[in-house]
């Protein structure tokens, strides 16, 4: 394990050195985390403070990103929204990753009717266009932030279930598993200690690739008015609010949160590629 | 042929699961379903009770499900409160709008992505290759609604080239009599060339938005698949036999490379069905996505249920067709059981 | 030395001008970890009607040489020196069109892993027809006839049915027959067989080799048979070219090579193959491994670092093949 870690670190170093874009990815990611953590503290104005006398002003020295229709400082709102958007994406991915991988590992290991039933359920889940499904889940559960997290987690579940199931399936009849079983290890122990860690690699790759998509999904839901409610600063909602003004030329209300979204998704995607290159270069496209 | 039947049979349990899922959905949604299905929110308690009985909401869940299945078999998807019309009629009215948009976007995406990916693979390192890779990377990072808004800003506000994004047809134009529901076709059938141009103009930006969304994964997959095939042994054999560039690249390489792309087409279509809702929202496009969203917001759940059902059914059908097309193109598929 | 079934022609057709003449061919590959000097001044000839075996360990450059002749080297490869002549014509100097008309019709190649060398979604008969249509256009019915003839020539049973089969439906041996049929469809004068039986089971190996040899003799094909299997080379070739790490180290008639090898590497090679050694105790592995061809400080003789007969002369100047007997050349300063 030690030499493998060293090999991976060497590959990581090579990847970063080879392509400067990868460095940009890491840099952006670090910057986003920073913004999420200290954003609310360092924001120049309160994201909720309204002042209709200065509404719809273009970017200026006082307000770097301009003001929106209620006179709120767009820059502060974009900055503070980082925390919420990142929280939603990370929670959703971690949740679906853990729950999905567990389910997938269990059904992949035990097989039989359990596998058949759950797989059919997954098929049904996947029969709905994913975003439509997310809409339905939020509709069913109600318009809150946590429900957006759950909705995003639910639509990502099938990927992890199938992935974990396939990985465990391939490995469960391998020699060292048989040996462990003969040696008296129980199923749970075999699953958690022996099988799952080996299958971790593709799962982590999938998770890192999922992050960008989770942000897009959450933003899409908010754009439609589902989940996050005004006046909470969140990039999707801000774009939705600004959409009314773009046809009349007030571009900044949409532009800056949109940029924040794009940069976030872009850096997550890049990061996902780097993680994938480190852990499993075979998956490169 | 046997594979076709087998595949069709395999889809049935999933379809059943979908119907079950949409049924459970309305039972999970907050509120009293009787009120929703009554179609008229100002009904008095007695009338609502009647609806409750007719819908069988006082019966067990299983019995309700049977009633639901029975209604479905007769094409009854319930009533919409907000419009007062049967859901089925509303959805059918609006389906052509979404279909026209999605199909045009899909065609646009394929016609752009496939050549781009192929040329990028044939000329690695060239400008086209860089462009292809850039589009693939950026495309997946761009939210659809952002693309739509950006296009509106540039082409409508800045350049004035596109018309105001307020729907399918300029209100000053006459809507042609409905034959297919596709404005592009109906206007031509009606001989109304101006309306044809006008509806095409309204269609461009939303179709472009959706096409851009599908462009990235398609271009990426085409390029990757083509690169993979070009480095395979049988292409080397073709070159060693002196086969012409056209035969080697088009007949041998391209056809093989398209196999994974066909699979991706199915997936991409699914994503587009989801993106539909967002694009219709941005461009005020009167399709089923916008309708479903409005219903959802006004707590009108019967249309939402019907919408989910239709979406799932369309997606299942598209997957089936994709699998069948793949099986027809790839003779190996028969031997991998 | 075991009694080998050596069935090479007794007298090589020495007077005929060479069919294929490779002279001082050098090939380099650009890779992420450096430049690989894959071939260094490779030289040998093939005369019409003779079967020349090219033997050597994996990585000795046998396939690279073949691919260089057929013009199917990887994009990362570049020919840095030497020439290839076919019936006196400069192959490397041909333009794209001439090259495409030449290969497949005047010179052909068959590969190892025959199934993956065929287009998986195209019927095998159609693939042969593609080659025929390219080089000798004719009416579809005439081409169809030629395809059937080609399949009969390679002794494929039931050609009418087989020609509409896909490669996945055929066995490895059948795929290789199709490959041979495709290669010989336009009656070339040179056939290169790059490890054609690797990956096939032993019985099929023998059958395919017999087929290749019979076809080569009956059509007077100049054949290059590339293999790492010395016993096969002994059985089917007239002459043998021994390669090591991108160098040709020895060329001789097959009987001469196997009874009186003069290069230390060849001798070691012969002693390391079980089927060529009388008693197992005599089996000897070759110490060390192939030199890393990315090194910039490669010695003039690439076998020197593993050789017991190394002398100071070995490091003095680049080596070339020099005649050491009738029809026997060796590239060594201190031959056996």
In percent, the amount of chain B with pLDDT more than 90 equals: 23
Total domain count, chain C: 1
Total domain count, chain A: 1
Q: Which residues in chain B have Cβ-Cβ distances shorter than 8 Å to A143?
A: none
Indicate whether A231 belongs to any domain: yes
Tokens 């199917």, residue?
C72
Quick one: pLDDT at residue C150? 93
Quick one: pLDDT at residue B54? 62
The residue in chain B having the minimum alpha-carbon distance to the alpha carbon of residue A251 is B153
Mean pLDDT of chain B: 83
What gap in Å lies between CA A273 and CA C183, rounded to an integer?
A: 43
- Enumerate residue ranges in chain C where pLDDT < 70: 1-16
Same domain? B103 vs B165: yes
Question: How many residue pairs from chains B and C have C-beta atoms closer than 8 A?
Answer: 77
B74: exposed, middle or buried (Cβ count in 10 Å: 0-12, 13-18, 19+): exposed
Quick one: pLDDT at residue C214? 92
Q: Which residues in chain B have Cβ-Cβ distances shorter than 8 Å to C170?
A: none
Q: Which residues in chain B have Cβ-Cβ distances shorter than 8 Å to C183?
A: 241
Q: Which residues in chain B have Cβ-Cβ distances shorter than 8 Å to A262?
A: 141-143, 146
Same domain? B154 vs B129: yes
Mean pLDDT of chain A: 83
What gap in Å lies between CA A41 and CA A53, rounded to an integer?
A: 25
Quick one: pLDDT at residue A285? 44
Q: Given CB atoms, is C89 within the 8 Å cutoff of chain B?
A: no
Domain with C98 in it: 20-321
Nearest by CB: A132 against B17, B165, B308: B308
Q: Given CB atoms, is C66 within the 8 Å cutoff of chain B?
A: no
pLDDT at A193 over 80: no
Domain with A44 in it: 2-48+65-283
Indicate whether A77 belongs to any domain: yes
Question: Is A131–B304 a contact, with Cβ atoms under 8 angstroms apart?
Answer: no
Instruction: Find, among A208, A105, A235, A93, the residue nearest to A156 by Cα.
Output: A93
Same domain? B278 vs B213: yes
Burial string for B276-310 (b: 16+ CB within 10 Å, else e) reads bbbbbbbbebbbbbbbbbbbbeebbbbbbbbbbbb
What gap in Å lies between CA C227 and CA C223, rounded to an integer?
A: 13
Over residues A119-143, the mean pLDDT reads 85
Nearest by CB: C134 against B236, B240, B244: B244
Question: What's the distance, CA C34 to chain centroid?
Answer: 27
Give ∠ CA A250-A48-B297 in degrees, rounded to 5.
75
Question: In this predicted structure, which of A137-146, B95-104, B208-217, C273-282 has the lowest mean pLDDT?
Answer: C273-282
pLDDT in tens, B249-274: 999 999 999 998 988 888 888 888 88
pLDDT at A283 over 60: no
Quick one: pLDDT at residue C149? 93
Same domain? B277 vs B205: yes
Over residues A34-40, the mean pLDDT reads 87
Q: Which residues in chain C have Cβ-Cβ distances shorter than 8 Å to B240?
A: 70-72, 103-104, 108-109
pLDDT in tens, B143-196: 889 999 988 888 888 887 777 777 777 777 777 777 777 888 877 777 888 888
Quick one: pLDDT at residue B336? 45
What gap in Å lies between CA C177 and CA C173, rounded to an integer?
A: 6
Quick one: pLDDT at residue C239? 94
pLDDT in tens, B157-166: 888 777 777 7
pLDDT in tens, B274-284: 888 999 989 88
Same domain? B140 vs B233: yes
Total domain count, chain B: 2
Q: Which long-range contacts (CB under 8 A, 24 or more apart) does B246-254 make?
A: B247/C130, B247/C134, B249/B122, B251/C122, B251/C130, B252/C119, B252/C122, B253/B226, B253/B229, B254/B118, B254/B226
Please report, for the domain that includes residue A18, its CATH number. 1.10.3720.10
Domain with B56 in it: 32-76
pLDDT at B216 over 60: yes
Please report, for the domain that includes residue B116, its CATH number. 1.10.3720.10
Same domain? B54 vs B114: no
Nearest by CB: B278 against A220, A262, A266: A220
Quick one: pLDDT at residue B36? 54
Nearest by CB: A140 against B28, B273, B292: B28
Same domain? B210 vs B136: yes
The one-character DSSP state at C168 is G
Query: In sequence order, what DSSP letters do the residues of A80-127 get, joined into one string?
Result: HHHHHHHHHHHHHHHHHHHHHHHHHHHHHHH-HHHHHHHHHHHHHHHH
Indicate whether A58 belongs to any domain: no
Quick one: pLDDT at residue B133? 86
Q: What is the ipTM of this complex?
A: 0.88
pLDDT at A112 over 60: yes
Quick one: pLDDT at residue C32? 80
Indicate whether A180 belongs to any domain: yes
Indicate whether B297 belongs to any domain: no
Give residues 137 to 176 of A whose Cβ lies within 8 Å of B: 139-140, 142
Nearest by CB: B242 against C118, C135, C169: C135
Q: Which residues in chain A have Cβ-Cβ distances shorter than 8 Å to B146?
A: 239, 254, 258, 261-262
Q: In what order do the strands lie in the sheet with C328-330?
A: C107-110, C190-194, C222-227, C51-55, C239-244, C247-253, C328-330, C322-325
pLDDT in tens, B285-327: 888 888 888 888 777 777 888 888 888 888 888 888 888 888 8
Indicate whether C327 belongs to any domain: no
Q: Given CB atoms, is C86 within the 8 Å cutoff of chain B?
A: no
Quick one: pLDDT at residue B83? 76
In percent, the amount of chain A with pLDDT more than 70 equals: 94
Over residues A95-122, the mean pLDDT reads 88
Indicate whether B321 belongs to any domain: no
Which of C280 and A162 is assigned the larger pLDDT? A162
Q: Which residues in chain C have Cβ-Cβ distances shorter than 8 Å to B249?
A: none
Same domain? B42 vs B154: no
pLDDT in tens, A42-62: 888 887 888 788 788 888 888
CA distance from start to end of chain A: 27
Indicate whether B326 belongs to any domain: no
Indicate whether A162 belongs to any domain: yes
Question: Is B243–C100 a contact, with Cβ atoms under 8 angstroms apart?
Answer: yes
Show which of B76, B111, B139 is a domain's final residue: B76
Same domain? B68 vs B161: no
Quick one: pLDDT at residue B32? 61
Nearest C-alpha of chain C: how many angstroms from B260?
A: 13
Please report, for the domain that includes residue C181, its CATH number. 3.40.50.300
Nearest C-alpha of chain C: how many angstroms from B233?
A: 5
Quick one: pLDDT at residue B33? 57
Indicate whether B132 belongs to any domain: yes
Question: Is B240–C169 a contact, with Cβ atoms under 8 angstroms apart?
Answer: no
Question: Is B316–A131 a contact, with Cβ atoms under 8 angstroms apart?
Answer: no
Instruction: Find, among B99, B212, B217, B219, the residue nearest to B148 by Cα.
Output: B212
In percent, the amount of chain B with pLDDT more than 70 equals: 89
Nearest by CB: B143 against A220, A242, A269: A220
Indicate whether C97 belongs to any domain: yes
Indicate whether C3 belongs to any domain: no
Indicate whether B228 belongs to any domain: yes
Q: Which residues in chain B have Cβ-Cβ distances shorter than 8 Å to A238?
A: none
Label residue B80 by pLDDT band (50, 70, 90): confident
């Amino acid at each position: 394990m030690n030499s493998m870690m060293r090999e991976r670190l060497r590959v990581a170093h090579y990847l970063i050195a080879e392509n400067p874009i990868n460095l940009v990815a890491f840099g952006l990611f670090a910057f986003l985390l920073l913004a999420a953590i200290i954003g609310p503290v360092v924001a120049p104005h309160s994201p909720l403070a309204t002042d209709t006398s200065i509404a719809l002003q273009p970017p200026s020295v006082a307000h770097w990103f301009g003001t929106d229709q209620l006179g709120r400082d767009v820059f502060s709102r974009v900055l503070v929204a980082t925390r919420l958007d990142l929280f939603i994406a990370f929670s959703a991915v971690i949740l679906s990753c853990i729950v999905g991988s567990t389910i997938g590992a269990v059904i992949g290991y035990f097989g039989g009717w359990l596998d058949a039933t759950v797989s059919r359920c997954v098929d049904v889940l996947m029969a709905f266009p994913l975003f439509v499904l997310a809409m339905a889940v939020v509709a069913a559960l109600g318009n809150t932030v946590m429900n957006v997290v759950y909705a995003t987690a639910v639509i990502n579940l099938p990927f992890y279930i199938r992935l974990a199931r396939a990985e465990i399936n391939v490995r469960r009849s391998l020699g060292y598993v048989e040996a462990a079983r003969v040696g008296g290890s129980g199923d749970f122990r075999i699953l958690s200690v022996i099988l799952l860690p080996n299958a971790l690699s593709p799962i982590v790759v999938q998770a890192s690739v999922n992050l960008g998509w989770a942000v897009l999904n959450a933003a899409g839901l908010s754009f439609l008015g589902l989940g996050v409610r005004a006046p909470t600063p969140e990039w999707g909602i801000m774009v939705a609010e600004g959409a009314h003004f773009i046809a009349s030329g007030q571009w900044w209300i949409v532009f800056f949160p949109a940029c924040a979204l794009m940069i976030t998704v872009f850096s997550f995607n890049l990061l996902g590629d780097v993680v994938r290159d480190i852990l499993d270069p075979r998956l490169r496209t | 042929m046997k594979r076709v039947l087998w595949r069709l049979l395999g889809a049935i349990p999933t379809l059943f699961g979908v119907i079950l899922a949409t049924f459970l959905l309305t039972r999970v949604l907050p509120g009293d379903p009787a009120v929703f299905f009554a179609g008229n929110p100002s009904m008095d308690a007695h009338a609502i009770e009647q609806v409750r009985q007719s819908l069988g909401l006082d019966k067990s869940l299983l019995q309700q499900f049977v009633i639901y299945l029975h209604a479905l078999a007769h094409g009854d998807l319930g009533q919409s409160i907000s419009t007062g019309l049967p859901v089925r009629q509303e959805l059918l009215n609006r389906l052509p709008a979404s279909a026209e948009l999605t199909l045009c976007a899909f065609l646009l995406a394929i016609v752009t992505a496939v050549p781009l990916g192929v040329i990028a693979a044939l000329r690695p390192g060239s400008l086209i290759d860089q462009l292809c890779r850039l589009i693939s990377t950026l495309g997946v990072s761009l939210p659809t609604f952002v693309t739509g808004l950006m296009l509106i800003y540039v082409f409508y506000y800045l350049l004035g080239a596109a018309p105001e994004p307020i729907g399918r047809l300029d209100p000053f134009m006459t809507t042609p009599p409905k034959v297919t529901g596709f404005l592009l076709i109906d206007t031509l059938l009606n001989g109304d060339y101006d309306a044809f141009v006008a509806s095409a103009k309204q269609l461009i930006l939303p179709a472009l938005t959706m096409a851009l969304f599908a462009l990235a994964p398609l271009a990426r997959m085409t390029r990757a698949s083509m690169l993979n095939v070009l480095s395979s042994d049988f292409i080397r054999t073709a070159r060693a036999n002196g086969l012409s560039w056209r035969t080697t690249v088009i007949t041998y390489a391209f056809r093989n490379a398209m196999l994974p792309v066909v699979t991706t087409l199915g997936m991409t279509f699914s994503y587009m069905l989801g993106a539909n809702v967002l694009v219709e929202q941005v461009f005020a496009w009167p399709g089923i996505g916008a309708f479903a969203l409005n219903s959802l917001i006004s707590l009108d759940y019967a249309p939402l249920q019907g919408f989910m059902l239709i979406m799932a059914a369309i997606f299942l059908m598209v997957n089936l067709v994709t699998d069948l097309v793949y099986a027809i193109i790839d003779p190996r598929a028969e031997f991998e059981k | 030395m075991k009694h080998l079934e050596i069935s090479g022609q007794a007298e090589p057709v020495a007077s005929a001008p060479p069919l294929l003449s490779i002279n001082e061919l050098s090939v380099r590959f650009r890779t992420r970890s450096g430049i690989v000097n894959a071939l260094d001044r490779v030289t040998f000839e093939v005369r019409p009607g003779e079967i020349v075996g090219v033997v050597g360990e994996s990585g000795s450059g046998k396939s690279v040489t073949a691919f260089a002749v057929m013009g199917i080297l990887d994009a990362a490869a570049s020919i840095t020196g030497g020439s290839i002549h076919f019936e006196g014509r400069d192959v490397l100097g041909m333009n794209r069109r001439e090259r495409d008309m030449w290969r497949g019709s005047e010179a052909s190649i068959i590969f190892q892993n025959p199934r993956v060398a065929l287009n998986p979604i195209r019927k095998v008969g159609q693939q042969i027809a593609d080659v025929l249509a390219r080089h000798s256009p004719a009416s579809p019915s005439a081409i169809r006839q030629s395809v059937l003839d080609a399949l009969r020539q390679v002794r494929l049973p039931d050609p009418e049915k087989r020609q509409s089969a896909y490669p996945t439906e055929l066995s490895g041996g059948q795929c290789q027959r199709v490959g041979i049929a495709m290669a010989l469809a336009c009656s070339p004068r040179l056939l290169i067989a790059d490890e054609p039986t690797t990956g096939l089971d032993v019985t099929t190996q023998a059958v395919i080799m017999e087929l290749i040899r019979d076809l080569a003799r009956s059509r007077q094909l100049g054949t290059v048979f590339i293999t790492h299997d010395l016993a096969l080379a002994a059985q089917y070739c007239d002459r043998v070219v021994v390669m090591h790490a991108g160098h040709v180290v020895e060329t001789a008639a097959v009987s001469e090579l196997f009874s009186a090898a003069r290069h230390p590497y060849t001798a070691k090679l012969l002693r390391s193959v079980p089927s060529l050694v009388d008693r197992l105790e005599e089996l000897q592995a070759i110490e060390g491994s192939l030199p890393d061809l990315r090194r910039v400080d490669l010695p003039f003789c690439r076998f020197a670092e593993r050789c017991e007969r190394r002398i100071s002369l070995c490091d003095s100047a680049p080596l070339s093949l020099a005649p050491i007997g009738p029809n026997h050349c060796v590239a060594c300063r201190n031959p056996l």
